[in-house]
Amino acid sequence: MSNEIRIFCPATIANVSCGFDVLGLALDAVGDEMVIRKTKEKGIKITKLEGQNLPMETLNNVAGVAGLALLAESDYQGGFEIEIYKKIKAGSGIGSSAASSTGAVWAMNELLGKPFSSLELVQFAMEGERLASGVAHADNVAPAIYGGFTLVRSYAPLDIIKIHTPSELYATVIHPQIEVKTADSRKILKTSIELKDGIKQWGNVGGLIAGLYTEDYDLIGRSLEDHIVEPIRSILIPGFDKLKSESLKAGALGCSISGSGPSVFTLSRGEKTALKVADSMRKVYNNFGIDFDIHVSKINLEGIKQL
Ligand code: ADP
């Protein structure tokens, strides 16, 4: 068994419009790289962190915290060194923290001969998410580990379902270079919803799942509607309404906020349409004079992988 592994950790889109806190998907074209190596010394050390200015102390880095959660359940007597090469910007809303926390535990599990299940890896990685946002979410870490679309059917007990992903589905993600703190975008949400909004929302979640399984792209498009969170959170994202109307005109199936923002994502059928949608979104932000990154990506079906 090797003592070292180099991996790709995908960016992820949480919520996916109607599935607040329960749906997520993994991307192919954006992600971090990590190198994890066994050491005789116990514990976890972050020895390199390039690409972003983030804390390297084990207890302040999500990779360290998630890794310690795994070590606490393992009978392995040694430790690990972690190198992190960040390409995903922290606070972008495309799972920057989840990429590091899942990457750490996935790689450790490989190096130890896979003693833990995917569900257990999600539970360890959720401890990293607790450090990043104060809440142990699974909607970014689940797709990073399982690949494709995932549904968190229940948190207690944790029940994660990998959802079939149609082969022609592409995501376009635009990241305006503004800061939206996850804590702030949570604070503005209401704590209760109207029954009539709930009815619309679970209709759409059911429709989206059915559309994914039957590869019915029109149904997927009709179901990418969020009546609860998007109307409130979109206020924090400059030009959101225009991004949405222009991307739909360009052929996107749907458009909403990625995670807690500020990134905005669309889903499209086929790469050609996803690229056309990217052009329409670029134009909107060029007209607004807002700096941005933009990514066009196939949905990543396998999740984290060894390089
Ligand atoms: P995203 O929405 O892109 O996942 P979050 O706001 O959830 O971003 O996470 C970013 C927060 O997590 C920042 O406060 C950052 O300092 C902290 N953090 C700690 N370790 C890492 C890491 N290895 N990668 C990314 N963020 C980290």
Residues with Cβ within 6 A of ligand 1?
54-55, 61-63, 84, 90-98, 100, 132-133, 182, 259
Q: Is the pTM of this model over 0.85?
A: yes
Residue 90 Cα, ligand 1 centroid: separation in angstroms? 5
Phi, psi for residue 287 in degrees, rounded to 5: -65, -35
Separation CA 1–CA 23 (nearest Å) = 35
Q: Which atom of ligand 1 is nearest to the CA of 133?
A: 7
- Atom of ligand 1 at shortest range from CA of 100: 23
Q: How far is CA 292 from the centre of its chain?
A: 18
What's residue 295's pLDDT?
Answer: 97
> Which of 7, 30, 47, 54 is the best mutation target for the ligand 1 pocket, counting ligand atoms within 8 Å of the beta carbon and taking the most?
54
Query: What parts of the chain have a pLDDT lower than 70?
Result: 1
Residue of minimum CA distance from atom 6 in ligand 1:
91
Q: Which residue has its alpha carbon closest to ligand 1 atom 5?
A: 91
User: Does residue 138 contact residue 95 with C-beta atoms inside 8 Å?
Assistant: no
Which residue lies with its CA nearest to atom 22 of ligand 1?
97
Compute CA distances 212 → 15, 82, 101, whole Å.
15, 36, 28
In this predicted structure, what is the pLDDT of residue 1? 67
The region, left, alpha or beta by phi > 0 then psi within -120 to 50, assigned to residue 16 is: left
d(CA 84, CA 80) in angstroms, rounded, equals: 13
Question: Taking the mean position of all CA atoms in its chain, how far away is CA 116?
Answer: 22
Position in ligand 1 atom list of the atom nearest CA 54:
16
- Cα–Cα distance between 123 and 141 in angstroms, integer? 9
Ranges of H-type helices in the chain: 62-72, 96-111, 118-133, 141-146, 182-187, 195-214, 217-223, 230-233, 240-249, 271-288
Bridge partner list, 67: none
Residues with catalytic roles: 129, 182
Report the nearest atom of ligand 1 relative to the CA of 259: 2
Distance of CA 240 to the CA centre of its chain: 20
For 32-48, the pLDDT digits (tens) are: 999 999 999 999 999 99
Q: Give the per-residue pLDDT at 184.
A: 79
Using one digit for the tens of pLDDT, what is the confidence trace for 159-210?
A: 999 999 999 999 999 999 987 777 778 788 989 999 999 999 999 999 999 9
pLDDT at residue 222, rounded to an integer: 98
